[in-house]
Chain A
Amino acid sequence: MKILVLMKMVPDIVEELEVAADGRSLDQEYLRFIVNERDEYALEQALLLKDRLQATVVVVAPEAPEVDDVLFTARAKGADRLIKVVGLPAGAGARVTATALAATLPGVDGVLPADLVLSGCQSIDDLDGFVAPLLAAALGLPYLGLVSRVAVDAEGGKALLSKEYAGGVMGRFELSLPALVGIQGCEKPPRYVPVAKVRAAIAAGGIEEVAAAGGAGVAPLEIAAMAKPEAAGHAEMLEGSARDVAEKVADILAARGLL
C-alpha cells in the first residue's frame, strides 16, 4: 500500500513579522520558515498507517527555505522516499502549487497512483486556497477535509474517517480509495525523533529533486498592500508583577459585580 504525504513550509510566526519596503510582502531579513503544523499531523497519521498496514510513505514538498531539514526529519521518522519539487516561483500560492503538483507528480516514477494522499487541510498562508482540496480536484480524487482520525480497510479499498465539526461533534465518513484526505489532527501528537537520527538522515542524503511542470494558466492573487492589522480596538494593558496585576484585575472584576 502506498501513502503520499504533501508537506509545505510556511513563515514562522514565533519570529516578529515585518512588512518589506515594497509594502506588500514580508520582510525577509529575519524571516524563517517552519513546516506547516497540520502537515506534521498528516505525516504522523501516515506513519501510523505505515506500521499498521506495512505501507510505504512518500513525502513530497515544494522547495522553500529549510525544507531539506523537514524532509530529512520525515525520513528519520520513517518516511521511505523524499521528493522535493523545484522551480515553483516564490510566493506561488495554493492554486499555482496545486496545479503544478497535479501536472508534475504523474510524471515521477512510482509516485502515482497512490492509495492514499494525506496533507494538512489548512495553513497560515493560504490566501488563495487550500492546496489539499485543490490538488484533489485536479487529480480527480475524492476529498474530505478537517479529518482527525483515519483507518484503512485495504482489502475493501476504503478509508474510514472522522471529521471535526463544531462543539466536538465528529462526522464519520467512508471514502473510496484512492482518495485525498485533508488532515486537521491525529490520534497522537507528532512523534519525536532525536537530533542524532536526523543528522544521520542528512548524512545519508537522498532527496530526489523534481522539476515542476505546468502551473500555467493560474496566477496567484496580487496583494496590493500588507500591514500589521490595526485592531478595532486594543486591550488596556496592565503593568506590574503578577501579584500587582492580579490585584488590579480583581478590582476591575469587583467593580463590575463579577465577584
Chain B
Amino acid sequence: MAGNVWVVAEQWKGSVSDATYEALALGRDLAEGLGARLEAVLLGQGVRALADSLGRADAVLYVDHPALAEGTGEQTSRALAALAAERSPALILVPTTNVSWDLLGLLPARLGVPLVNFCRQATASGGAVEFSSLLYGGKMAATLTAGDGTVVVAVLPGVRPAEAGKGGPPPQVEEVAVAFEAGDGVRWLEYEEPEAGDVDITQQEFLVAVGRGISNEANVEVAEELAAALGGAVCGSRPVIDQGWLPLVRQVGKSGVTVKPRLYVAAGISGAPEHVEGMKDAELIVAVNTDPGAPIFSVAHYGIVEDATDVLEALAEAVSKRKG
C-alpha cells in the first residue's frame, strides 16, 4: 500500500471529538506499520487553532471554506474527495459519530474507492492492512483486506483509548486550497438543543438503562424504582426512545450521549455497537438479557440471563433493604 495514512479530524461546535483521537491512535499504529506519514485532515472555517491538539499526527492538512463550517457531509465529502484525488493517500480513517456519518456515506462514491465499515481493529504488516469489522449488530466479526488504491475506513468508537491519540507538540499545519464544487443543495439552518430535562444523565453516578427487553412502557417504572433506590437515574437505548418510552435526553449511544457512571445496569439491552459506544467506559456494568448470546455480555462485568423486569424489581428490593 503506497501513500500516507489520513485521519479526518471531526470538529463540531468548536471542538475536536474524542473519536478523532481514538482514530489518530489507530492511525499512528498503521502509519508505523506501513512506514508512512500520518496526516490529520481538518476541514472547517476559521478553526485552524484546533490543529494544535492533533500532535499525534505528523502534519495537519487544513482546508478552510465557509461551506465546510458545520461539517455537512455533502460539502466535506466533495472537498475531501478533491484533496484525496490530488494526494492519493493509502488510507482515510474517519470516526463514525453522527457528525461524520454522511461524509462516510458520500466520500467512497465521490472518490470511487471502497469503504471498510464498522472497523474495530486494523493491523498493518508487509505493506498490507488487515481489517476486522463488526457486522449484524455486533454478532459477527469479518476479517478482510481491501486491495490497492485508497481505502476509506469507518472507525468504530473504542478502537483505541482516546488518550493514546493525544499529546505531542503542535504539528505542522499546511493550509491547502482545494478546488471543489461546494453546491447548495444542502443548507444548514440551525441547531436545536434538546429540552432541558430535569436530569443530565452524563452527570449521574448510577444509571439504570432499559432496552427493548423490558417489553413495555409500564416497566420503565420498575427501572425508576431501582434508580431511585440507587440514587441515580433511568436512561435507555435507541429502541426505547423510538417508541417514546423515554425522552431523547435519556438516550445513551451514538445519537445520544456517552456516559461514564460508577454503575451501569443494562436491562433488556442487546448491546449493539451504537449503544455500547456510549457506555463501555462505565466502571461497573451489570447486564440482564434473556439471550445468553447478546453482545452486551462481552462488555459487561457481570451478566444475568433472566427476564429483565423481574431482575430490576428484585434488585430494587434488595438494594432498598441493604440501604435500610
Which residues of A approach B to under 8 Å, CB–CB?
A: 10-11, 13, 16-17, 19, 24, 26, 95, 98, 121, 124-130, 132-134, 136-138, 141-146, 162-176, 179, 182, 184-185, 189, 221-238, 241-243, 245-247, 249-250, 252-254, 256, 258-259
Contact = CB atoms under 8 A, between A and B. Distances in A.
Contact of B191 (A133, A172, A185): A172
Interface in B64-102: 70, 72-74, 97-99, 101-102
B53 to A, nearest CB: 19
Contacts of B262: 258
B266 to A, nearest CB: 10
B148 interface: no
Contacts of A162: 192
Given A229-B134, A247-B318, A258 B284 contact: yes
A128 B115 contact: yes
Given A13-B136, A127-B133, A132 B322 contact: no
B113 to A, nearest CB: 10
Q: Which 5 A-B pairs have the closest CB atoms?
A: A142-B185, A133-B105, A231-B298, A235-B303, A137-B109
Interface of B: 12, 70, 72-74, 97-99, 101-102, 104-106, 108-110, 114-118, 130, 133-146, 183-194, 206, 230, 242-244, 248-249, 251, 254-258, 262-263, 284-287, 293, 295, 297-307, 310-311, 313-315, 317-319, 321-323
A134 B103 CA distance: 11
Contacts of B242: 185, 189
B185 A226 contact: no
Contacts of B12: 165
B108 A95 contact: yes
A173 B257 contact: no
A26 B139 CA distance: 11
A166 B253 CA distance: 8
Contacts of A16: 293
A236 B299 CA distance: 11
A136 B106 contact: yes
Contacts of A173: 72, 186-189
15 contacts: A124-B137, A125-B136, A127-B118, A134-B106, A137-B109, A143-B186, A171-B189, A172-B188, A172-B191, A189-B243, A229-B134, A229-B295, A235-B302, A250-B318, A258-B262
Contacts of B184: 176
A11 B139 CA distance: 11
Given A124-B136, A169-B191, A242-B311, A235 B73 contact: no
A13 B298 CA distance: 17
A243 to B, nearest CB: 5
B313 A242 contact: yes
B147 to A, nearest CB: 8
Contacts of B186: 142-144, 173-175, 179
B140 A226 contact: yes
A81 B116 CA distance: 34
Contacts of A142: 74, 183, 185-186
Contacts of B192: 162, 169-172
Contacts of A134: 105-106, 108-109
Given A234-B303, A254-B322, 11 more contacts: A141-B185, A144-B73, A166-B258, A171-B192, A173-B186, A223-B142, A231-B297, A235-B300, A242-B313, A245-B304, A250-B319
B257 A166 contact: yes
A124 B284 contact: no
B136 A236 contact: no
B193 to A, nearest CB: 6
Contacts of B303: 234-238
Contact of A17 (B140, B193, B298, B315): B140
A150 to B, nearest CB: 14
Nearest to A250: B318
A140 to B, nearest CB: 9
A98 to B, nearest CB: 7
Contacts of B117: 126-130
A256 B295 CA distance: 25
Nearest to A258: B263
Contacts of A256: 284
A227 B258 CA distance: 28
A136 to B, nearest CB: 7
A169 B97 CA distance: 13
A228 B98 contact: no
B321 to A, nearest CB: 8
Contacts of A130: 104-105, 117
